Homo-oligomer: A and B are copies of this chain.
Amino acid sequence: MRVLRVAVLGAGYMGSAVTFPLCENGVKVNLWGTWLDDGTLDACASGVHPKLKKRLRDGVSLFYSDQLARALDGVDAVFVAVTSEGFAPVFTRFLEVFEPRDSGRGVPILTLTKGLLRRDGDVKRISETAEELFRGRFGRHPFSWASVGGPVKAVDLSREVPTATVYGTRSGDAEKIAESFGAPYYRITTCPDVVGVELSSAFKNVYAIALGICDGVYRSWAPDSYHNVRSLVFTQAVKEMASIVVKAGGAKETVYGLAGVGDLHVTSSSGRNRRFGDLIGGGMTAVQAFDLMMGEGETAEGYAALEHGMQLVLRLLDAGDGSPIEKELPLLAKLHEIVYRGRPLMEAFEGFISTQGNRG
Contacts and interface: CB of A to CB of B under 8 A. Distances in A.
Interface of A: 151-153, 155-157, 159, 161-164, 166, 179, 182, 184-185, 187-191, 218, 222, 224-232, 234-235, 238-239, 242, 253, 256-258, 261-263, 265-266, 269-270, 349-350, 353-354, 356-360
Given A156-B227, A225-B156, A151 B353 contact: no
A161 B229 contact: yes
A187 B257 contact: no
Number of this chain's copies in the assembly equals: 2
B189 A151 contact: no
8 contacts: A151-B235, A156-B227, A161-B225, A162-B232, A184-B350, A184-B354, A189-B360, A227-B265
A222 B159 contact: yes
A232 to B, nearest CB: 4
A265 B360 contact: no
Nearest to A252: B256
Given A190-B358, A269-B231, A357-B188, A226 B161 contact: yes
A238 to B, nearest CB: 6
B228 A256 contact: no
Contact of A262 (B155, B159, B231, B258): B231
A355 to B, nearest CB: 9
Contact of A266 (B157, B228, B269): B228
A180 to B, nearest CB: 12
B188 A358 contact: yes
Given A234-B265, A235-B262, 7 more contacts: A153-B225, A159-B225, A161-B229, A164-B232, A187-B356, A190-B358, A231-B258
